[in-house]
Amino acid sequence: MVISGFGTFTGGIDLPDEKDAAIAAAIAPAGHIGRLRVPCAPVQAAAARPTVRIGQFVTRGERLAEATNADQVDIFAPLAGRVAGFCEVMLPAVSGVGRPQHPTGWRRSDAVELTDLDSPAGIGPLTENYDWPAADEHSIRLRIAEGGLTTFRRPVVPLAGYIASARQAKVDTLIANVMENTPFITADHRLLVEQGLEVVRGLAILARAVGAAEVILAVDHRRTDAYHRTVAPAKLYGISSIALAHKYPIGADAILTKVLTRRRVPPGATGLAVGVAVTDAATCHATYRWVACGELPTARVVTVAGPRVNSPANMLVPFGADVSEVFDLVGVRGDGKCIHGSAMTGRQIVAGAVTGPSANALLALAGEQQPTPTPCIRCGWCSDNCPARLNVSALNDDFELGRPDAARRHDAMACIECGICSYVCPARLPLMQRVRLLKQAIET
Ligand code: SF4
Ligand code: SF4
């Protein structure tokens, strides 16, 4: 594995690792789950149309809802069970996209409720039943579209649509981003340790589907010893394994793209604008298991951790599990806030939240739910550490004075929503959230 030797970036901070409690925890099946409320809109689009009726028993993998257009994906039962009804659940929203958002950054999705469930299983070995190395790229893309695959990171979109966008953008480089350099989260790390060959093969499949000539597996340099055995075959598939220093937020797509390719992503754009597509370990893993072995995507590995969790774990959690029920499986003590996603950029969990493709972590953190902000003292820490080199205190002024036009001039759209400004601010101002709101105001 190549260590460093690549570009770096200005700004950023060293975050505490805080992964000791979960980093050695092997991926385990979720314990007993009483009900699933499986989202019919895991992607931020109109819900797929249910194809089941109340009272019907379904088998694992049976279709629950069918896509009626290319913005949706088919929905399959994560476990065998009985259809108890139809309801609404909450999933994380993406800024400025799709249906009206909940003020907390969550969105509603129609869902199929299943009860009388089978026990969840772990990640079992599979046999390949599709000769993907011999298949042509078009056939691989068709197969991906048939499996209801989405990306497993925000924004969650149909994987077939993401591939089509990448091809349209004439992407020449595909990066699997396994930096995972925020505290507590080890889901992708465990996937690479335990399922490295499947992740690598999935990346190779995606590279062919996208048409990328350059394929990079980017990992944290502190973890390379754990990956040698599992990612060694990457070379066979023409994949470069590259270990990078862990300064946060190197795992942000725009930063990773700049560090690895020296291409600068324009403000408000994605890597596709400069010919780079970025994926993750969970998407690669799901791609391999569907394309090569025919396993439908109905679950993901979730790190459940944080200082208030009794038994931190990496669990394979079926889509549609109540977040509160997942926390009950590991035990949570004391008061604090519960977060979906990373401690830096995640969202506080709301009632009705369930797991979906992007739920890589559920964290029970200590500390106040909503710290009380005080006025800016002009210390400059936010701007000094901002990796987008923004004048964050000026943007905070724009927010407080309701000046989206000024925020546009202050380059708010270049914000990558890393959360560093909020993290370092001694006045405890929710700066990232304020800049996110300014971006939404600029876009509307
Ligand atoms: S302004 Fe945006 S990019 Fe800069 S530190 Fe804050 S969240 Fe990160
Ligand atoms: S870190 Fe907070 S207090 Fe310091 S300049 Fe930025 S907004 Fe003001």
Per-residue model confidence as pLDDT tens digits over 303-362: 999 999 999 999 999 999 999 999 999 999 998 999 999 999 999 999 999 999 999 999
Q: Please give the pLDDT value at position 232.
A: 82
Q: Which two tokens stand for residue 18?
A: 């805080």
- Ligand nearest to the CA of residue 400, numbered in listed order: 2
Contact 93, 45 (CB under 8 A): no
93 pLDDT band, cuts 50/70/90, is confident
- Residue 67: closest CA among 82, 50, 83, 54: 50
For ligand 2, whether the C-beta of 393 sits within 6 Å is yes
Residues in contact with 208: Cβ distance below 8 Å, sequence separation at least 6, in sequence order: 137, 140
| Residue 154 sits in the same domain as residue 286 | yes
164 located within any domain? yes
| Residue 395 sits in the same domain as residue 256 | no
Closest atom of ligand 2 relative to the 392 alpha carbon: 6
Which of 266, 291, 316 terminates a domain? The answer is: 291
| Residue 133 sits in the same domain as residue 266 | yes
The CA 12 to ligand 1 mean position distance, Å, reads 9
| More confident: 93 or 408 | 408
368 pLDDT band, cuts 50/70/90, is low
Residues 109, 191, 145: CA angle, nearest 5 degrees: 50
Residues in contact with 89: Cβ distance below 8 Å, sequence separation at least 6, in sequence order: 37, 39, 108, 109, 111, 320, 352, 353, 354
Task: Quick: pLDDT tens for 74-83.
Answer: 999 999 999 9
Contact 329, 31 (CB under 8 A): yes
Least confident of 182-196, 197-211, 227-241: 227-241
For ligand 2, whether the C-beta of 374 sits within 6 Å is no
Residue nearest to ligand 1 atom 5, measured at CA: 386
Mean pLDDT of 28-41: 95
Q: Please give the pLDDT value at position 100.
A: 47
List the end-to-end C-alpha distance of the chain, in Å, as a whole number: 45
- Ligand nearest to the CA of residue 394, numbered in listed order: 2
The CA 395 to ligand 2 mean position distance, Å, reads 10
Residues 425, 427, 430: CA angle, nearest 5 degrees: 65
218 located within any domain? yes
Contact 112, 75 (CB under 8 A): yes
400 located within any domain? yes
| Residue 167 sits in the same domain as residue 271 | yes
Residues in contact with 168: Cβ distance below 8 Å, sequence separation at least 6, in sequence order: none
> Which residues make beta-bridge pairs with 39?
111
Task: Quick: pLDDT tens for 384-403.
Answer: 999 999 999 999 999 999 99
The CA 19 to ligand 2 mean position distance, Å, reads 29
Which of 291, 312, 340 terminates a domain? The answer is: 291
| Residue 405 sits in the same domain as residue 256 | no
**Helix orientation angle between 187-210 and 224-231, rounded to the nearest 10 degrees:** 40
Instruction: Tell me how many domains the chain contains.
Output: 2
259 pLDDT band, cuts 50/70/90, is very high
Task: Quick: pLDDT tens for 212-244.
Answer: 999 999 999 999 989 987 778 899 999 999 999
- Residue 167: closest CA among 126, 202, 220, 209: 209
Residues in contact with 409: Cβ distance below 8 Å, sequence separation at least 6, in sequence order: none
| Residue 394 sits in the same domain as residue 286 | no
Q: How far apart are CA 95 and CA 104, in angstroms?
A: 11
Checking if the pLDDT of 404 tops 70, the result is: yes
Q: How far apart are CA 365 and CA 266, in angstroms?
A: 34
**What pTM was estimated for this model as a whole?**
0.94
178 located within any domain? yes
Mean pLDDT of 139-166: 95
Q: Which two tokens stand for residue 190?
A: 């465990």
Q: How far apart are CA 444 and CA 429, in angstroms?
A: 24
Range of the domain at 147: 2-22+124-291
| Residue 281 sits in the same domain as residue 396 | no
| Residue 145 sits in the same domain as residue 279 | yes
390 located within any domain? yes
Least confident of 28-42, 83-97, 197-211: 83-97
Q: Please give the pLDDT value at position 95.
A: 60
Which of 246, 272, 291 terminates a domain? The answer is: 291
Q: How far apart are CA 339 and CA 311, in angstroms?
A: 17
58 located within any domain? no
The CA 167 to ligand 1 mean position distance, Å, reads 30
| Residue 279 sits in the same domain as residue 175 | yes
Q: Please give the pLDDT value at position 386.
A: 97
Q: Please give the pLDDT value at position 97.
A: 44
Q: How far apart are CA 425 and CA 115, in angstroms?
A: 46
| Residue 267 sits in the same domain as residue 390 | no
What is the three-class DSSP state of 13? strand
Residues 33, 34, 37: CA angle, nearest 5 degrees: 90
Residue nearest to ligand 2 atom 7, measured at CA: 393
406 located within any domain? yes
For ligand 2, whether the C-beta of 395 sits within 6 Å is no
Q: Please give the pLDDT value at position 274.
A: 97
For ligand 2, whether the C-beta of 206 sits within 6 Å is no
| Residue 243 sits in the same domain as residue 136 | yes
> Following DSSP, what letter does each residue of 419-437 receive, concatenated?
-HHHHH-TT---HHHHHHH
417 located within any domain? yes
Task: Quick: pLDDT tens for 261-313.
Answer: 999 999 889 999 999 999 999 999 999 999 999 999 999 999 999 999 999 99
- CATH number of the domain to which 243 belongs: 3.40.50
Q: How high is the mean pLDDT of the chain?
A: 93
| More confident: 17 or 96 | 17
Please tell me what DSSP assigns to residue 352.
T
